Amino acid sequence: MFGGGLLSVPVNSPHLRKPGSRSVVSDLGELGNSAEEGLLHSLEVNEMKGVTTPLSGAAIMPSPLFLWRFKVLLFFIWGFICSKIGWDSVMRMSADLRDLFLYEAFLYYNPLLLVTMMVWLWGVNLWVFVQANVNYAKIFDLDQNHLTHKEIWKCATWMTIIVPTSMTAYLYLYSHGEVSLAASQPVLLYAAIAMLLIFPFDIFYLSSRYFLLRTLWRIVFPLQAITFADFFLADILTSMSKVFSDLERSVCRMVHRQVATIAWFEADSVCGSHSVAIPVVLVLPYLFRFFQCLRQYRDTGEKSTLLNALKYSTAVPVIFLSALKYHVFPDRWKNIYRPLWLLSSVLNSLYSFYWDVTRDWDLSVFTRIFKFNKPHIFSHLLFGRKWVYLWVIGSNLILRCTWTYKLSAHLRHNYLTVFAITALEMIRRFQWVFFRVENEWNKMNSKSNVQLSMSDLSDEEDKLLESNDHHV
C-alpha cells in the first residue's frame, strides 16, 4: 500500500514516533509535517493491530486445566449414561435368566476390562520410573519412539471408553429383543482390536505395536537369547493367564456362533466351562516361561535358572489337578486328587513368594524407586518407609496364595470373585514391577561402575608404564 520501502520499515525503528513521545528528527530533514504525521499514524495503527490480534486469540483460547476438567466431566457423564442404560437393560430381563446372561456378557468383556486396567497400571509404572530417573528405555532396550506414560494413559483412556460402550450396547440390544445385533457387538470389538494390533501401516504407534508383537513371538518361540524384555513380559503374562483363558472361551463361542444364545447352559459343550481347552490355555504362559529358563541355562550355564524353571513347573499340577474334577468320579476327586491339588497349591504359592522376595527383588537396602527428582507427595509417603516393605511382602504372600483360586477351573463358578482375585493379582504384579525393574537398574549401574573403575585402573597402569619407560 505504501510501497516496498515503507513496508520494510521495522515496527521498533527509531525513526518512528510512539504515541505521547516527542517528535523524532529524521536524518533527511523535515519533509513536511502533514505527510509525516499521516505516515506515522498509519504505521501506528498497523502496529496496534499486529499486537492486539495475538492477544485476542490467546484470550479466547481455554486453558489446559480447563480443558482437562471439561474432559473429566464428559468422562463421568459418559460413565453415568453407560451405567444407567446397562442397569435398566439388565432389570428388563427375568430374574431367572439375569444371572446367566450377565455371566455370558461378563465372559466376553471382563478380559478386555482387565487388560485395560493393566495398561493403566503400566502407565503408572512408567510415570514413577520417569520421576525417579530410572532409564527404563535402556533396561528394556527400547528405541527413541517408545511410548511414554502419557501415551500409555491415552491408549488406556480410549480402551476405557470403547470396551464399556460396547458392553452397554450388548446389554441394551439384547434386552430390547435385537439379539442378532447384540451378538455382533463383542465380535466387532474383538475383530477391531485384532486388526488394530496387526495393522501394517504407520498409524497408532506402529513401532510400539511391532515391538510388542515381536516380543510375544520371542516368548512363544524362545529360539534366541532371552532378553530382559522377553522374560519380563512373560512374567506379566503369567498373571494374565485367566484373561487368556476367558479370551479363548469367548473366541470359541464366536467361532461356533454361540454368542447371545442358550449355549451357556451347556457346561460340557465344546466351549463350555468343562472344556479341556481351559487348563491348556491357563498353563501356556507358565510353559513359555519354563522354556525361557531352560534357554537361559543353555546360554549362561547358571544353575539358578533351573531353579526358576522348577518354580514355573509347580503351576502345572495346580492347573491340571483342578481340571480333573470334571473328568473323574467324585470319590476319587475327594480322596485322591483334591489333597494333591491342595499340596501342589501350597508348594507353588510359597515357592513363588520366596523367589519374588529373594531373587526378583533386592530388599537388602531401602529402595530408591520412590525417590523422585522433585518434591512430591508420593515420594514423601513411600520413600524410605518401612511400612512399604511390610505391605509389599505381606500383600505379595496373601495374593500368591489366592493365586490358586484363579488357576483352578473347579473354583470358577463365581465369576465376580474370580474377577476380583484376577484384578488383585494384577495389582500384585504392578507392585512387583517397581522392585523388579529397580533391581535390574541397580545391576546395570553396578556393571557400569565396575567397567569404569577397570578402565581407570588400566589408564593408571598405562601412565605408570610410560613414566617407567621415560626414566629408563
Kindly state the cell numbers that stand for 268: 460340557
pLDDT number for residue 82 = 93
Which residues make Cβ contacts (< 8 Å) with residue 278, sequence separation at least 6?
245, 248, 249, 323, 409
pLDDT at 99: 78
Euclidean distance between CA atoms 94 and 7, whole angstroms:
80
Give kind and range of the element (H or E) at residue 59: helix 33-60
Rounded CA Rg of the chain: 32
* 235-254 b/e (C-beta count within 10 Å ≥ 16 → b): bbbbbbbbbebbbbbbbbbb
Say if CB 324 and CB 391 are below 8 A apart.
no
* pTM over cut 0.85: no
Per-residue pLDDT, 450 = 54
Residue numbers in the chain where pLDDT is lower than 50 = 1-33, 35-36, 39-40, 43-44, 49-58, 470, 472
Picking from 325, 351, 312, 347, the residue whose alpha carbon sits closest to that of residue 411 is: 325
Q: Tell me if residue 64 falls in helix, strand or coil.
A: helix
Quick one: which of 134, 149, 213 has its CA closest to 445? 134
- pLDDT given for residue 257 in this prediction: 87
Supply the pLDDT for residue 55. 46
**How far apart, in whole angstroms, are the C-alpha atoms of residue 244 and residue 406?**
12
pLDDT at 66: 85
346-375 burial: b if 16+ Cβ within 10 Å, else e:
eebbebbbebbbeeebbeeeebebbebeee
